[in-house]
Amino acid sequence: MQINIYYGGRGLMDDPTLFCVGKMQEVLEELRVTVETYNLYELKNTITTLPQTLKNADGIILATTVEWHGIGGYMQQFLDACWLYGDKELISRIYMCPVVMATTYGEREGKLHLSEAWEILGGIPCNGVCGYILDSTVIENNSDYINIIERTAEGLYRTINQHIPSLPASNHAVKQKISITKNIDLTPQESEQLSQYASDEIYVQRQKEDIQELTTLFRDMMSSEEKDDESMFIKDLKNTYQPQAGMTGCYKISLGNGMPLTIAVTDSDMNCFYGDVDRYDMELQMPVDCMNEIVSGRMTFQRAFYAGDMTMKGDFKLLRNLDILFPFGV
């Protein structure tokens, strides 16, 4: 069995997190576990390559210190790298134990943040440990505190050794239905090279000038098509609208490039147009083909969401209201 420890603090001598992971490492090594420790502050220039170190790990410990607010930049960079470059199939089999010590407020929030992040990555979070420790000597000289840390390490070993399953988490559904991200087929080194281009002001300015030139070139060619786009779906929405008492809301529907389709409903009144407003109650994103299926009655807004053809942000109840207000299939 191998367990990797990723420490995201600054490596200060009196950091209570260092004492915790050191004690956990002692317990794990007594159980004949191979333990590898990665201090992120020492590897800050190569954090994007660290997801490769997960390949041989059966479990990991994510340890960090809350010094003022949040889990700290090094740990967040490591989680970002796991999301962008990590093997999600591999991560789905790895158990994670969060360890968060705070010298200020926020240890519970930090522990929860690590657990939620690992769930969204597809991994399996375990019971961790967190605490408010203003002075590291407090925890070092307290046998009860040390016993809690040791039992946490033993619990992690037992969980991995017995392959204890966990119930499905809603974070997995969020990942599949809403948080849809594009695959990045770039290595960390290639991404870093692209970042260097993005920081080159001369290069960026030249790209902006080229884009402006192309925009001017095709503006006249697309003007007639834009006029048609500005009236697309509006007539269908107005003809199908069925007012419902108490149903109000402002919806933003992004159909790709161009201005979003805004639908504003206030009891019996409904207004729809292409343009932005200051505030929306719900935002939807779908391709034009999907919207065509809906207005033709072959699809509903809810079915489009469940099928993964549409993403949304906002109250799910408002999504159900759309199918009531616009019953295209009836």
Residues 204-218 pLDDT 10s: 677 777 787 777 776
Structure tokens at 46: 């190569």
* 8 shares a domain with 78: yes
* 239 shares a domain with 170: no
Residue 314 sits in a domain of what CATH number?
A: 3.30.1050.10
Task: Give a yes or no: residue 244 inside a domain.
Answer: yes
Nearest residue to 232 (alpha-carbon basis) of 273, 282, 275: 273
Assess contact for 61 and 97: CB atoms under 8 A: yes
What's the residue count for the chain?
330
Q: Distance between CA atoms of 177 and 139, rounded to whole angstroms?
A: 43
Q: Which domain holds residue 275?
A: 234-325
| 21 — pLDDT class (breaks 50, 70, 90) | very high
Residue 115 sits in a domain of what CATH number?
A: 3.40.50.360
Task: Give a yes or no: residue 194 inside a domain.
Answer: no
pLDDT score for 180? 47
Tens-place pLDDT, residues 231-285? 778 888 888 888 888 888 899 999 877 788 899 998 788 899 888 888 888 899 9
Task: Give a yes or no: residue 202 inside a domain.
Answer: no
Number of structural domains in the chain: 2
What mean pLDDT is reported for the chain? 85
pLDDT score for 94? 95
Q: Distance between CA atoms of 327 and 127, rounded to whole angstroms?
A: 47
Q: Which residues share a beta bridge with 96?
A: 60, 125
Tens-place pLDDT, residues 112-168? 999 999 999 999 999 999 999 988 888 999 999 999 999 999 999 999 999 988 887
Instruction: Tell whether the model's pLDDT for residue 227 goes beyond 50.
Output: no
Count Cβ atoms below 10 Å from residue 8 Cβ, excluding itself: 26
Residue with tokens 């799910």: 316
pLDDT score for 222? 58
* 149 shares a domain with 70: yes
* 290 shares a domain with 144: no
| The domain boundary residue, chosen from 160, 177, 194 | 177
Task: Give a yes or no: residue 192 inside a domain.
Answer: no
Tens-place pLDDT, residues 64-102? 999 998 999 999 999 999 998 889 889 999 999 999 999
Task: Give a yes or no: residue 158 inside a domain.
Answer: yes
Any idea what DSSP says for residue 162?
T
Instruction: Tell whether the model's pLDDT for residue 35 goes beyond 90.
Output: yes
Task: Give a yes or no: residue 189 inside a domain.
Answer: no
- How far is residue 254 from each of residues 100, 140, 162, 263, 283, measured CA to CA in Å? 40, 56, 47, 11, 8
pTM to 2 decimals?
A: 0.56
Nearest residue to 310 (alpha-carbon basis) of 288, 328, 280, 281: 288
Task: Give a yes or no: residue 263 inside a domain.
Answer: yes
The residue ranking higher by pLDDT, 179 or 6, is 6
Q: Which residues contact 133 (CB under 8 A, 6 or more apart)?
A: 16, 101, 102, 103, 139
Q: Distance between CA atoms of 114 and 128, rounded to whole angstroms?
A: 10
Task: Give a yes or no: residue 211 inside a domain.
Answer: no
pLDDT score for 135? 83
